[in-house]
């Protein structure tokens, strides 16, 4: 039997999504909600009997995009410590070429990355950047005195 060492970055996205799901459940139930619409799916919160853990386990995949977005926001802040940035970066890079995530994106209706404006082929040369170009803020007309 082989044992795989689980590193913190391996489950970081799932842990964050699970915490988001549990907090969402607690907030919804404390607000008195019984049935909600979550990503076009009707969910009866009462069947989880005030157990946020069961709700998070059942609906974890719905909160993964929010978790990735939050982790990217943390990664982009200057005040985030460098070791934390490394763990977040490793967690995100681990899933860059994940086929399962790619299939989930296609099912959700997301376009293929190569068809988005962000995609640039490796052989495309960058466009030159022109700096210090003066702008003319006045008009040339003969009516001025």
Question: What are 44-93's pLDDT values in tens digits?
Answer: 888 988 889 999 999 888 888 888 888 888 888 899 999 998 888 888 88
Name residues whose C-beta falls within 8 Å of residue 123's C-beta, 6 or more positions apart in sequence: none
The answer to whether residues 80 and 74 touch, using CB atoms and an 8 Å cutoff, is: yes
- Separation CA 93–CA 80 (nearest Å): 18
What are the sequence ranges of the domains in the chain? 8-115
Whole-prediction pTM value? 0.63
Total Cβ atoms within 10 A of residue 17: 23
Residue 3 — pLDDT band, cuts 50, 70, 90? low
């Amino acid at each position: 039997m082989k044992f795989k060492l689980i590193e913190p970055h391996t489950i970081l996205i799932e842990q964050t999504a699970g915490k988001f799901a549990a907090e969402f459940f607690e907030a919804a139930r404390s607000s008195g909600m019984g049935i909600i619409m979550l990503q076009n799916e009707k969910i009866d919160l009462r069947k989880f009997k005030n157990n946020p853990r069961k709700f998070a386990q059942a609906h974890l995949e719905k909160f993964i995009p929010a978790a990735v977005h939050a982790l990217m926001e943390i990664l982009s802040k200057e005040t985030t410590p460098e070791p934390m940035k490394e763990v977040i970066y490793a967690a995100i890079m681990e899933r860059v070429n994940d086929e399962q995530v790619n299939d989930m994106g296609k099912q959700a209706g997301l376009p293929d990355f190569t068809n988005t404006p962000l995609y640039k082929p490796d052989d495309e040369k960058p466009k030159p950047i022109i700096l210090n170009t003066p702008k003319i803020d006045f008009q040339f007309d003969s009516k001025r005195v």
